[in-house]
Amino acid sequence: MFETLLVANRGEIACRIIRTAQRLGLKTVAVYSEADRNALHVRHADQAIFIGDSPARESYLVADRILAAARKSGADAIHPGYGFLSENAEFAEACAEANISFIGPPASAIRTMGQKDLAKRQMEAAGVPVIPGEHNEGHDLQSAAARIGFPLLVKAVAGGGGKGMRRVDSLDGLDQALESAKREALSSFGDDRLLIEKWLGQSRHIEIQVFADSHGDVVHLFERDCSLQRRHQKVIEEAPAHGMPEKLRAAMGKAAIRATQAIDYRGAGTIEFLVDVSNGMEDAPFYFMEMNTRLQVEHPITEAVTGIDLVEWQLRVAAGEPLPLRQEEIPLRGHAIEARVYAEDASRRYLPQTGRLIRHRPPEAGEHIRIDSGIAEGDSVTIHYDPMISKLIARGSSREEALRHLRGALEKYQIAGLITNLPFLHAISNHPGFVMGRIDTNFLVDHESTLVSAMTKREKTLVAMACAVLLAEREAKAHPEDGADSFSPWAATDNFRLNEDGFDVLRFRLGKEDLDITAHFSLDARTLEWDDQAATLRNVELSDNRISATIDGNRWKGFYARDEDRIWVMCESNTLKLEIRQRTRSITSSGTSDGSVRSAMPGKVTAILVTSGEKVEEGQPLLTLEAMKMEHTLTSPRGGIVSSFDIQNGQQVMEQELLMKIDPVPDA
């Protein structure tokens, strides 16, 4: 076994690797960029070494700096985690030249499977079924698309994670999809080559975890269902796949082992398949998509159902040890579900969010709940890296039990300071189709409106809770003596008079709208009125950021957090942020009604699609912006004429920076 392990990564995966390495008695070394100077993985490691500025391309992606850190620390092994340099064949070779063990497969295997076109040709030769498409280099993709038929997928030859991937439904949209995919692929992987393949209508994304040692043995650790995806990136994963027939499991396992053997593999890997379930799971055809030559984000659910620490296996195999178990000795017990908690707004096309976590309290870990996180309360989610906050893993003896634990954990999870997808995850976990296991890769698209609607179902309750917090705080300041009843009219801070209507006006901003709430009080209650809604508050209790209140006769419990003029309220995974306005009403522009086009977050302009003076329609794409590893298209807020602008391709822009303005069409 090794003596010192350097983890060439950050965030939750770095923390997770460090945890196992320290359990095995290894000294651990973290590397960090400027943005990660006080990050959790830095605090957890035995030693930490600075490697550069915040963007990954100036720190975590610079192989020479990683190797220099390894030499400085005396590390005899490097674990790359996932992302960054984990599937970089040149880095694996550089480690070998430096006499440092790379915890991963041989560079040749990385190189073969890292190019999707080459990988598909290799799998065809090994007798593994592949999706129909055009993956031979140099072919005319427009002609191939007409031959294959629509819909189809345009995919980057290099990389993964949904980058450089576009669905195309007709020939009219092909050119734009190819250009957009090329830009994103070049930005993400430094390689703009593309392939195309047939889009399978009703399919499930099922992957097989494989392991190979240096003694010629290969095993699989069963399957994970990763069908629930947005923008081709996974949101919720399960192990094992619901409704998986034993015959299909055996066939996919054998195909995965055959694929692994074909490239002389070593270490942990994942063979990803698409299963055509248009006629059900029994005897369903399956097709090779790609191989990830590294540890997967969703590996904890495999650990949950097998009882195997996959990072420990990686370290032992890399040290030359044989696989700890034979295929028939690997258990499969119970069910596990992983939900990825992201800083993103699911109601706004999963727009990534940035900001400081003024509150981050995951549910308590235990027999049924595991939390993998690389961020703590007070830390910030920045524009420089992926916006994933944590992974929430729930385990049970059955899928039903695992799902029950998942829901409970989501409802206990407290995050404030930025918008997250917790309400979205909770809505999925309660959706009848998901509960019944009726899922495929189109699930989130097909049920988007229902899920988004479910996310806002508690808005009235949350508004009432926010009012309860603010009223109680105001009245506590006015009457700080112990035992004061903050809901007594005698504690009111307004112009209450006996036998007259006493009231207070609470002024908030909800999203882009002003929200004025009148709070009338009686001897034992507050009646809240706003817009066309009303709610009655009774029996409010505040303690340690917890709130309980009777609202319209129903008892609700939740959490709240304050940050200067903002209040966050959470109940049953639903979260509401209200900005507290001054008592004098202010008028502000929405930023779109006047034709302004502003950046929703900091990022880099990657393409300008219009020219000054051009006439555009409402909703027409104007430019694309790369932010937090994704490309976002900004569209025209109205029909009109593009006024002159100064932005250029490659320019860095700030949040809410004015990029363009659409002037109204002059009267004839």
Which residues are the active-site residues?
Answer: 294
Give the pairing of strands 574-580 and 566-571.
antiparallel
The span from the CA of 247 to the CA of 497, in Å, is 78
Q: Are 238 and 399 in contact (CB under 8 A)?
A: yes
Percent helix, strand and coil across the chain, each rounded to 5? Answer: 30, 35, 40
Cα distances from 377 to residues 326, 406, 418, 564, 607, in angstroms, run: 42, 22, 12, 16, 36
Backbone φ and ψ of 261, nearest 5°: -65, -30
Q: Are 312 and 299 in contact (CB under 8 A)?
A: no
The span from the CA of 514 to the CA of 276, in Å, is 49
CA contacts within 13 A on the Cβ side of 277: 24
Conformation bin of residue 511: beta by default, left when phi > 0, alpha when psi is -120 to 50: left
Q: Are 8 and 60 in contact (CB under 8 A)?
A: yes
- Taking alpha carbons only, the member of 418, 428, 420, 419 closest to residue 453 is 428
- Cα-trace Rg, the chain: 27
Structure token pair of residue 543: 């303690």
The one-letter amino acid code at 175 reads: D
Q: Is the preceding peptide bond at 637 cis, omega within 30 degrees of 0? A: no
The one-letter amino acid code at 21 reads: A
CB atoms within 10 A of CB 193: 17
Structure token pair of residue 342: 């992201």
